Homo-oligomer: A and B are copies of this chain.
Amino acid sequence: MNFFEEVGKVAIGSRLRILTDKVTEDAAQIYKLYHIDMQPKWFPVFYALVREKEKTITKLARDIGHSHPSVSKIISEMLKKGYVKESKDKADGRRNVVSLSKKGVEISKEIKDQIIDVNAAIEEISAQAQHKLWEAIGEWEFLLEQKTLLRRVIEKKKERDSLKVEIVDYLPEYQEIFRSLNVEWISTYFTMEESDYKALDDPQGYILDKGGFILVALYEGEPLGVCALIKMNDEEYDFELAKMAVSPKAQGKNVGFLLANAIVEKARSLGASKIYLESNTILKPAINLYHKLGFKKVAGKPTPYARCNIQMELAVK
């Protein structure tokens, strides 16, 4: 199967692990070569203490990129060997302040030659390589710090899913789905009201014929999202964004955003200057979405819906 050949970079984690093992596997023998009685895993802690005399457990953990229990364990092992000493911080009784013992300081002198040689060996490898591993790692650390791999993957998924979503105009055949998707969320969080039934049972009469619009989102051809633009008789607002519903099946596929965006575009193309909407703060994803589209909170409009506790508007022009 050729497919997997092309996308081989997913294996980068695996590859990194193998390289890490290869670089690390000789460590124990290198210490032996210099007659230094130290476990490789102690080194980062040891070195951190050479450079800064006193540190607490958590400070050490942060500096060397381990969890604190790991450092705690390493310190207790080094303590047994007599390489470090502990003392309680007088100002803060929780802190365990660790520093090198006299024996530890001695070792730190002995280990210098080893560090010089290992460094030289690694520099030699670097010099023989065209691509700089050290710098590459630095860049990756930075880039992953800024945005984790998970977030990047989520974005890529959204991009790809967006291509599968098609926004189309309402047709009579979509009445059933327009009704059911809306009934689903309304009755989950609230109860259906009189004005809901009017609009859902007869979108043609109550929305379209009055100058409104309905858009439907198709995901791979299947209608999974709907949204209406209702003509308002108001001096300030041209349309109300309402009856927006997306199937749970399409969650996380960016359908909501694409649908709402298309509705706003529709309003703009119709020459509208301001859109209005009503919602409820318990519908957090919806509120976030409106926010992302640029809707701002307003107050003061009378509403026929009991469930409404937030009103928003968007200047389209």
Contact = CB atoms under 8 A, between A and B. Distances in A.
Nearest to A65: B18
A68 B87 CA distance: 46
A125 B150 contact: no
Contact of A154 (B19, B33, B40): B33
This chain's copy number in the assembly? 2
Interface stretch (A115-123, A188-196, A297-305, A307-315): A115-123
B50 A4 contact: yes
B115 A140 contact: no
Contact of A9 (B17, B134, B139): B134
Interface residues of A, number: 79
Interface of A: 1, 3-24, 26-27, 29-30, 33-34, 40, 43-44, 47-48, 50-51, 63-65, 112-113, 115-126, 128-137, 139-141, 143-144, 148-150, 152-157, 160, 252
B125 A50 contact: no
6 contacts: A1-B51, A4-B115, A7-B115, A30-B150, A125-B140, A132-B136
Contact of A19 (B4, B140, B160): B140
A137 B252 contact: no
Contact of A20 (B20, B64, B131): B20
Contacts of A135: 130-131
Nearest to A3: B63
Nearest to A18: B65
